Every structure is written in structure tokens, then in C-alpha cells.
Structure 1
Amino acid sequence: MAVTDGVRKIAGLDFASVTPEEFARLVKKLSDKEIAAIARDGALRPRVLREVFGRVERQFRPDAAGSLKALIRWRITGSGDNEDAVYETAIADGACAVREGRSDADPRLTLVLADPEFLKLVSGNVGPVKLFMLRKVKIVGDVALAACLTRYFDIPKA
């Protein structure tokens, strides 16, 4: 597949200078094929995932989470030679912490989805309920938590 302008823009992105809203607009313009091309790139995919998860703690809304205590495991399914990427988001005591990889702890919620759906979800371009209805996300555990997960974070709108 030829590299498109959308893929080139993401590859050349200085994530430190891009707001979540700008990132959301970039993702909105990408086709599923372009996101799949990013997902197959062994250097670009981890860079994008690290940046997205690196922003989660800053976008956390402790006021909305209240006394919520939950470990959320994200498994972004790999394609091509790339393995699944696993991240965990721990919410407790009004704080949010993210770690790469799978811990031995039992998550309250596990979300399994492909790269296009993941990027669309975290950029505010699709909601979790719609993904579930379209069978684009597998939910294991607390379905109610999954349905309201986005309210605990400042999700940009493209």
C-alpha cells in the first residue's frame, strides 16, 4: 500500500506540539485503510500508542470519577507482524495511572479492539456504545463501566 498524505502527517507529527483536538481532527480524516497502514508500521504504531496512552493521565477527570476504583485493560489487536498491544489504566483515589503491558491483577474491564476503532474512540470520533453495537469492540467484565468510560476523561471532539 502506498503511503498516503494522512499516514505521512501522522508519521511526521511532533506529538508534543499537537493538542488533543488537533489529533482528533487528523484521525477523523484518516480512512480505516490509512489507520491499518499505521498499525502495520512497526515503528509508528508503538509511537502513536505511547503518545495516546501518555495523555490519558492528563485527560483524566477526577471529579467525574469520584470514588471509582477500576483496573481497565486495553488490548489493541495487532495486524501483520505486530503483536497485540496491551495497556492498563488504573483508576483509584481520584487518580489515574497508565502502564504498558499486562499485570497479574484482574481487571474490572477489558476492552479488545483493532487499531482503527481504538484511535477513533480515544479521539472522540466514535463512542463506545456505537462500537459495541457494531461489534467492533469486545467487552469483558463490567459493561456498565465500558458504556460510561469516556465521561471520566476529557475526550477531544473533532
Structure 2
Amino acid sequence: MADNSSGNLTDELTALDFAAVSPQEFARIVKGLSAKQLGEVMHSELRARVLGEVFGRMKQQFRPEAAGPLKALIRWKITGDTDTVYETAIADGACTISEGRSDAEPRTTLVMADAEFLKLVSGNGNPVTMFMMRKLKVAGDVGLASGLTRYFDIPKA
């Protein structure tokens, strides 16, 4: 992925079988892309595939032993050309993911742009720094939001 032209980059990523990419490889891909390139990828037809794959893997990345008796609904709002909402429900040592906004009241809501979301979930972004720079907005339980990384295995690039 050394080629920096967005057309070739998008073509390469379109051909990529995301289901076969390990979390660590995904983290390396994200780390190797500039914010501009991440934006270009997320302004293409790849956006839905990338978001679907990331949220689809959250269940496998979940660490029930770390969550213990936690019961919480986390709403993720990823902003871009269109806003996309996913919800992560943690209860009884399990994690379920759903696309779209439910009627339930979330304990915390995280709002960020596409590139910041990819950096965050790939371990390439520091959530505290992102929050302080207002690239990550948190509504509701800030304490829960600040501890979310311990409930999931975040890949290291």
C-alpha cells in the first residue's frame, strides 16, 4: 500500500477481504494511512464494509472477564458524509452489537468523525488526547467512556 494515490488505494482496499484481515493487520493498515487517505477511504463505497467489519468484530474482541457485572448501552455515532449509528450492549458478560439507533437510553454516547473512529478502534489514537482536542465527544457517563478500552482487546500496530 505504498502508493499514495487515492484511486489505487481505494482499489487495493476494495479488493481486500476484510474478513481475512487480522485486527493487528487492520491496525497496521490504518497506521500507514494519513488522515486525508482515511477520509478518502471512508468517503467511498468501502465505508459501510469497513464499519460493518469493525463492529462485527467487537463481539470477538470483547473481554467479559474485564467487564464483570457491567451493564451498559454504548451508542457510537460516526460522522462523515452520512452519520452512522451503532450500539454496543454489554450485560451478563456478553456483548451484542446492533446497527442503528434504538429507543433505549444509552449510558454513554461517543461521537467522532470517520478517521478518528478508525484510529480509535485500531489502537492508533489516544482516546484522552482525542477527547481533549474535541475530536471525540462524549455524552453521558464519561467514566464509562474513558474505561471502554479495557473491555476490548485493542490491536497494536
Q: Same fold (TM over 0.5)?
A: yes
What is the 5 A alignment of 1:16-35?
Answer: 16-35=19-38
Q: TM-score, normalised by structure 1?
A: 0.93
Q: Which residue of 2 aligns with 1:85?
A: 84
Whether contact under 8 Å (1:27, 1:123) holds in the other structure is: yes
Aligned equivalents of 1:62 and 1:121: distance in 2? 20
| 2:37 is equivalent to residue 39 of structure 1 | no
Q: CA separation in 1, counterparts of 2:69 and 2:153?
A: 18
> In the aligned structure 2, how far is the partner of 1:4 from the partner of 1:25?
20
Quote the RMSD (CA, aligned, Å): 1.2
Q: Contact 1:124/1:155 (CA < 8 Å) preserved in 2?
A: yes
Unpaired runs of 5+ in structure 2? none
Q: Quote how far apart the aligned CAs of 1:4 are.
A: 5.0
Q: 2:93 is aligned with what amino acid? A: G
Q: Which residue of 2 aligns with 1:145?
A: 144
Q: What displacement does 1:9 show?
A: 3.3
Report the CA distance shift for 1:36/1:30 in structure 2 as closer, same or farther (over 3 A): same
Structure 1 stretch displaced more, 132-141 or 6-15: 6-15
% identical aligned pairs: 64
Partner amino acid for 1:115?
D
Report the TM-score when normalising by structure 2. Answer: 0.93
Tell me the distance in 2 between the aligned counterparts of 1:96 and 1:114. Answer: 24
Deviation at 1:127, TM superposition (A): 2.2
In 2, distance between residues paired with 1:16 and 1:147? 28
Unaligned runs of 5+ in 1: none
After superposing on structure 2, the runs of 4+ consecutive aligned residues of structure 1 that deviate more than 4 Å are none
- Distance in 2 of aligned mates of 1:77 and 1:132: 15
Match of 2:135 in 1: 136
Alpha-carbon shift at residue 10 of structure 1 (Å): 2.4
CA distance in 1, matches of 2:108, 2:13: 29
Where does residue 57 of structure 1 map in the other structure?
Answer: 59
1:135 counterpart SS class: coil
- Between stretches 107-116 and 9-18, larger displacement belongs to 9-18
Quote the residue 2:73 is aligned against: 71
Q: 2 CA distance for matches of 1:138 and 1:146?
A: 10
Q: Does 1:125 align with 2:128?
A: no
Q: Is the 8 Å Cα contact of residues 6 and 30 (structure 1) preserved in structure 2? A: no
Q: Counterpart in 2 of 1:101?
A: 100
